[in-house]
């Protein structure tokens, strides 16, 4: 049995109902967070709720009534859904409006929906020797506020669907020959032992895992250069990784059909070292 939480109460998955007049349904007018939970403990929860607060603020969606109770609700939901590792989705839409209108009624109250599912173990933890991800690059078709974690994910869905139909594992978006981010991840590349990732801007989501990985690297005495990553260079990288809350760190070994010239075994790779020490700062 799967439990969810809607606005003020826990409901079974089969019971939960939201009006089609909810602006999340009509316009994709909402924001969300995905929080990984390990052994029933949410990982980097404060960072995730901080970003949710910023997404609400940027979009002018009100904080839900139960805003201060969200950590407690997550705790209870995780207990109810029993898996020891879970992905918790916290979604807030602008709420149910009386009529369809782009301009919201100021009286509209936000909808809070929280759900969770089992978080599968990162396959590169179970088998670090498995083949790296194969991705394709696509011109970034998204809007100019990718820093907001909006539920409006049509561009990401179309891109990932296209890659999946071609048997690829994912997508890296580029703008004018420069990498922005993955369709659901941030991108890192290593050249001559220097780690580079795209700088924070309106073109990317400021990933919680990105920040965590930068802290892990700094903790090992490795500086990360936050600068433009050229697509033509990334094909020549020593290592490429994608990072996200549900994927953690995963290596990429093929981009646009071109096999990267990876000389190191996984044991000497930085991505593997980072995965091994992933929880060392928590």
For the annotated catalytic residues, the residue numbers are 149
The yes or no reply on residue 181 touching ligand PMP (CB under 6 A) is yes
Q: Which is nearer to ligand PMP, 108 or 171 (CB)?
A: 171
Candidates 186, 190, 196, 189; CA nearest to 242 is 186
Provide the total of helices (H) and of strands (E) in the chain, helices listed first: 8, 15
The yes or no reply on residue 197 touching ligand PMP (CB under 6 A) is no
Candidates 162, 187, 163, 193; CA nearest to 175 is 187
- Report d(CA 44, CA 31) in Å as an integer: 18
The yes or no reply on residue 252 touching ligand PMP (CB under 6 A) is no
Binding residues with ligand PMP: total (CB under 6 A):
13
Q: Which is nearer to ligand PMP, 91 or 245 (CB)?
A: 245
Q: What is the DSSP letter of 256?
A: T
The yes or no reply on residue 209 touching ligand PMP (CB under 6 A) is yes
The yes or no reply on residue 34 touching ligand PMP (CB under 6 A) is yes
**Cα–Cα distance list, 228 to 197, 217, 219, 234 (Å):** 7, 19, 23, 11
* Residue of the chain from 81, 115, 186, 197 that contacts ligand PMP (CB under 6 A): 186
CA dihedral of 282, 40, 156, 158, whole degrees rounded to 10 = 150
The yes or no reply on residue 207 touching ligand PMP (CB under 6 A) is yes
Q: Which is nearer to ligand PMP, 184 or 255 (CB)?
A: 184
Q: Which is nearer to ligand PMP, 108 or 163 (CB)?
A: 163
- Asked whether 132 and 111 are in contact (CB, 8 A), the reply is no
The yes or no reply on residue 239 touching ligand PMP (CB under 6 A) is no
Which segment (93-101, 119-127, 130-138, 203-211) binds ligand PMP by CB under 6 A? 203-211
**Cα–Cα distance list, 87 to 8, 15, 36, 193 (Å):** 20, 21, 5, 33
Which segment (6-14, 21-29, 132-140, 208-216) binds ligand PMP by CB under 6 A? 208-216
- Asked whether 158 and 187 are in contact (CB, 8 A), the reply is no
Which segment (12-20, 59-67, 89-97, 243-251) binds ligand PMP by CB under 6 A? 243-251
Min dist. Cβ of residue 267 to ligand PMP (A): 25
Q: Which is nearer to ligand PMP, 108 or 205 (CB)?
A: 205
* Residue of the chain from 205, 237, 240, 252 that contacts ligand PMP (CB under 6 A): 205
Candidates 4, 175, 202, 157; CA nearest to 91 is 4
Within 10 angstroms of residue 217's Cβ, the number of other Cβ atoms is: 18
Residues that bind ligand PMP (CB under 6 A): 34, 181, 184-186, 205, 207-210, 243-245
């Amino acid at each position: 049995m799967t439990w969810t939480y809607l606005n003020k109460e826990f409901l079974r998955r089969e019971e939960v109902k939201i009006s089609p007049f909810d602006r999340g349904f009509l316009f994709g007018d909402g924001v969300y967070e995905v929080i990984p939970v390990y052994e029933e403990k949410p990982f980097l929860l404060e960072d995730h709720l901080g970003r949710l607060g910023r997404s609400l603020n940027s979009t002018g969606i009100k904080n839900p009534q139960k805003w201060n109770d969200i950590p407690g609700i997550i705790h209870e939901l995780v207990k109810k859904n029993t898996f020891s590792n879970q992905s918790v989705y916290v979604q807030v839409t602008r709420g149910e409006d009386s009529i369809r209108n782009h301009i919201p009624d100021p009286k509209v109250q936000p909808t809070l929906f929280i759900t969770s599912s089992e978080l599968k173990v990162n396959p590169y933890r179970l088998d670090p020797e498995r083949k790296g991800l194969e991705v394709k690059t696509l011109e970034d078709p998204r809007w100019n506020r990718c820093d907001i974690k909006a539920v409006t994910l049509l561009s990401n869905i179309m891109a990932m669907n296209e890659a999946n139909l071609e048997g690829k594992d994912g997508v890296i978006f580029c703008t004018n020959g420069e990498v922005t981010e993955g369709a659901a991840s941030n991108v890192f590349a290593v050249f001559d032992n220097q780690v580079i990732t795209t700088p924070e801007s309106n073109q990317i989501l400021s990933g919680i895992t990105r920040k965590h990985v930068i802290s892990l690297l700094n903790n090992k005495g490795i500086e990360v250069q936050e600068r433009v990553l050229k697509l033509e260079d990334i094909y020549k990288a020593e290592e490429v990784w994608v990072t996200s809350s549900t994927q953690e760190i995963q290596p990429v070994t093929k981009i646009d059909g071109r096999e990267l010239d990876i000389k190191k075994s996984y044991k000497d790779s930085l991505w593997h070292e980072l995965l091994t020490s992933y929880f060392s700062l928590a």
